[in-house]
Amino acid sequence: MSDSSDGIAGIPHPNPLRRLTLDQLRRRTSVKWREYPEDVLPLWVAEMDVTLAEPVVRAVTDALALGDTGYPHGTGYAEALSGFAHRRWGWDGLAVARTKAVPDVMTGIVELMRLLTGPGDAVVVNSPVYPPFYPFLGDLDRRVVEAPLGPEGRLDLDAIEDAFHRETAGGRRTALLLCNPQNPTGTVHTAEELTAVAALADRYGARVVADEIHAPLTAPDATFVPYLSVPGGENGFSLMSASKGWNLAGLKAALAIAGPAAAADLARLPGEVVDGPSHLCVIAHTTALREGVDWLDALLAGLDENRRLLTKLLAERLPAVRYRPSQATYLAWLDCRDLGLGDDPAAAFLERGRVALNGGLPFGTGGAGHVRLNLATSPEILTEAVDRMATG
Ligand SMILES: Cc1ncc(COP(=O)(O)O)c(C=O)c1O
């Protein structure tokens, strides 16, 4: 297989966000398109309105045609991610031997937290953050302790230290579940911030698990820094996957990656978790990382256009909404507190405009009065969404 071979030589790859019509999208049967009635325009859950990278389609279709639907073998997924990490982020520290394939990122997080902490122990999160962190950790009998992001949407190191200080008192085990890049704000944590987090974790004996599922979706003018690449990050973990970057959530697979000082912990992951993803999903993810880079770059350019379009549309139609274009992810975190729509403006947008966004409340402290809008759609649908939000 060759790298980045999904474009025709010399011709820019088409923007995958502009290839499907609304009628085609409405034929989809995934949750984004089926949760709400037909008159609702859905820009909520993290699925993209894209056509897939052609090499991925080909690899999966070829496997089906061949009946290559047995069990997965080998470390191809980890090797592909390691190569991608080297080329994309200049990171050479992703050692294939310190990875395990897991069914998906959330399962990886839960199983790592089960190893690193005990029942009743705290897991610190930086709210507002991906809502399932709360119930998944709660079901594991861990206490979710918030160290909210600061006013600029950046990690608040004092709040993290306070939480570590409090939660490790009496010798309790504590972990930090980082989200890098951050869902929903799209913040990309800097090397300095991550190094400071690692130093705090070391000082208090807390362990760090970084959910880096959105890393491939870092904008061209921002720099993603893997947590495991910073000094002091050696006993941390990262969860990575091609699922968000290439819209493969329906083909679940992920990798748990241990820092050099965490390899023994990784080896304790139970057998039913490792080797969890199916062969077909591993084929899809591996191909995306190896051959889907032109597609990804075209997507990122399209997302940048959409961020600029959203900025313009909001200025024209809803100037009271505050929006800071994100450095990563395809999510826009909109501060609607000046609209007078209360804590859950998504409910008002759904009712009066028939547009589905994620309400901010489930994202924890900092979420009230906000909505999360999914930008991974065509400019036409994005325009229609803002029109609908401005209705009434
Ligand atoms: C930050 C974050 N983590 C995890 C997930 C879910 O990943 P998976 O389906 O691999 O469990 C998402 C999905 O949007 C996410 O945004």
Residue from 213, 227, 252 whose mutation best tests the ligand 1 pocket (most atoms within 8 A of CB): 213
Quote the tokens at residue 323: 């929006």
Among left, alpha and beta (phi > 0; psi -120 to 50; other), residue 263 is alpha
* Residue from 328, 382, 387 nearest 17 by CA: 382
Ligand 1, atom 13: nearest CA belongs to which residue? 46
Quote the tokens at residue 324: 């800071």
- H-helix or E-strand containing 89? helix 76-89
pLDDT in the model for residue 270? 87
Q: Does ligand 1 come within 6 angstroms of the Cβ of 249? A: yes
State the number of CA atoms in the 13 A half-sphere of 379 facing the CB.
Answer: 15
Quote the CA–CA distance of 241 and 252 in Å, as a whole number: 9
Atom of ligand 1 nearest to the CA of 130: 1
Chain-wide mean pLDDT for the chain? 96
- H-helix or E-strand containing 58? helix 54-66
* Residue from 313, 389, 310, 319 nearest 351 by CA: 389
Quote the CA–CA distance of 181 and 99 in Å, as a whole number: 20
End-to-end, the C-alpha distance of the chain in Å comes to: 53
Quote the CA–CA distance of 192 and 31 in Å, as a whole number: 38
Summarize the confidence of residues 156-171 as an average pLDDT.
96
Is it the case that residue 6 has pLDDT exceeding 70?
no
Torsion of CA 37, 39, 45, 49, to 10 degrees: 120
Q: Considering Cα of 370, then 375, then 377, then 381, what sign does the dihedral take?
A: positive
* pLDDT confidence band for 45 (50 / 70 / 90): very high
Distance from Cα 105 to the centre of ligand 1, integer Å: 6
pLDDT in the model for residue 7? 52
What is the value of pTM for the model shown? 0.96
Are 308 and 320 contacting, i.e. CB atoms less than 8 angstroms apart? no
pLDDT in the model for residue 222? 98
Q: Does ligand 1 come within 6 angstroms of the Cβ of 104? A: yes
Provide the percentage of residues in the chain whose pLDDT is more than 70.
97
pLDDT in the model for residue 2? 38
Quote the CA–CA distance of 78 and 142 in Å, as a whole number: 29
Q: Does ligand 1 come within 6 angstroms of the Cβ of 130? A: yes
pLDDT in the model for residue 1? 35
Domains of the chain as residue ranges with CATH: 16-55+293-389 (3.90.1150.10), 70-290 (3.40.640.10)
Which SS3 state, helix, strand or coil, does residue 263 take? Answer: helix
- The predicted-structure confidence for 84-132, as pLDDT tens digits, reads as follows 999 999 999 999 999 999 999 999 999 999 999 999 999 999 999 999 9
Distance from Cα 391 to the centre of ligand 1, integer Å: 32
Is it the case that residue 312 has pLDDT exceeding 60?
yes
Strand partners, 358: 372
Quote the tokens at residue 319: 């100037």
pLDDT in the model for residue 67? 98
Residue type for position 230:
V
Distance from Cα 37 to the centre of ligand 1, integer Å: 25
Atom of ligand 1 nearest to the CA of 104: 10
Is it the case that residue 9 has pLDDT exceeding 70?
no
Residue from 113, 180, 211, 244 whose mutation best tests the ligand 1 pocket (most atoms within 8 A of CB): 244
Summarize the confidence of residues 292-301 as an average pLDDT.
98
Quote the CA–CA distance of 238 and 109 in Å, as a whole number: 9
